[in-house]
Amino acid sequence: MKLKLTTLLILFIILSNYAQHTFSIVAVDPATGEIGSAGATCIADEHGALDISDIVLGVGAIHTQSYWDPTNQVNAHNRMVAGDSPQEIIDWLIANDNGNNIEFRQYGVVDLNNGNPRSAGYTGDQNYDEKINVNGPTYAIQGNILISQDVVTDMETAFTNTSGSLANRLMAAMQAAKRPGADSRCLNLGVSSESAFLRVASPTDTDASYGNLSLDLNVWVTSTTFEPIDALQDAYNDVLSTSNNELGNIKVDFYPNPTDDSLIIRTKNTMITSYEILNQLGKVIAKQQVYLPKNHLYLGVKGYEKGIYFVTVYNDKNKIATSKIIVK
């Protein structure tokens, strides 16, 4: 009897750890053609939250969460590429679940449909409480193992009542979810989650893999506990503040971007006297004085980990420009 209880406890812990994802949203903007994906979970790992995000460029987005199964995600992706509607994708997944555990799954799907967006959601009966999914014409929001269903309904309220870009609305939805224990497994830590992401694909994007979209942010708990949604907000604010690299009559070019070897920075009408490089969590990973001021720099990034960085150049103490750089 004792062995049986121990085995059940271990199984519960394993299944709880993989009750991924916790709360997330997929959405589209038919006016701009943008496709978005955001979410968070109580898994402190670089891929903890990010794994569920699947954006099919020019078409839509899919989140396959709760007892996440990569085979189901690939199948959902292939159905979207084949032209299935969001509801058809979910119907197919229900009928063809890998492992015959459909009652444990949770899905959110949305597509652009040539300017007439569609969405669909699914929550299996065996998802951990609290569980819920809500849908509108341009979005699908879902959550499980929540402290309350308000996490998802508050996300919906924020998303539908926020103006501006799709990214702004997704960020507002994530902030609306934020509370201690939004993912109930994180309640004792006093945070909403332990990893979070925000991704938006524009119609001009050509690669949907992480780090290659117009907006690609991913944060997770590292050595000290922090609130991932606030860290996501900080990273998003950095992107907003650096979206325009032409300040007055000073023009700065950063290229090639993305890059896997070196980054060239060229300025007009000013000289560069120093620079710094931050990772997407805001940590300074390089800071250098240029002792012979130049109007161009060559920065080697070959040894950098793949991901998003922010490069700022200065003239004396004056910031000239900052740019988001993708190292691939």
Average pLDDT, the chain: 87
For position 181, what pLDDT does the model report? 96
Q: Is residue 176 included in any domain, yes or no? A: yes
Whether residue 220 is found in the same domain as residue 292? no
Say which CATH number the domain at 310 has. 2.60.40.1930
pLDDT tens track for 71-88: 999 999 999 999 999 999
Whether residue 189 is found in the same domain as residue 85? yes
Q: Is residue 11 included in any domain, yes or no? A: no
Q: Is residue 5 included in any domain, yes or no? A: no
Q: Is residue 157 included in any domain, yes or no? A: yes
Q: Percent of the chain at pLDDT above 70?
A: 90
Whether residue 197 is found in the same domain as residue 302? no
Whether residue 93 is found in the same domain as residue 220? yes
pTM (two decimals): 0.72
For position 224, what pLDDT does the model report? 60
Last residue of a domain, one of 214, 240, 266: 240
What range does the domain containing 215 cover? 17-240
Whether residue 229 is found in the same domain as residue 261? no
Whether residue 59 is found in the same domain as residue 199? yes
Whether residue 263 is found in the same domain as residue 133? no
Whether residue 172 is found in the same domain as residue 260? no
pLDDT tens track for 193-223: 999 999 999 888 889 988 888 889 999 887 6
Whether residue 74 is found in the same domain as residue 119? yes
Whether residue 181 is found in the same domain as residue 252? no
What is the rounded CA–CA span in Å between residue 272 and residue 320?
8
Whether residue 77 is found in the same domain as residue 222? yes
Total domain count, the chain: 2
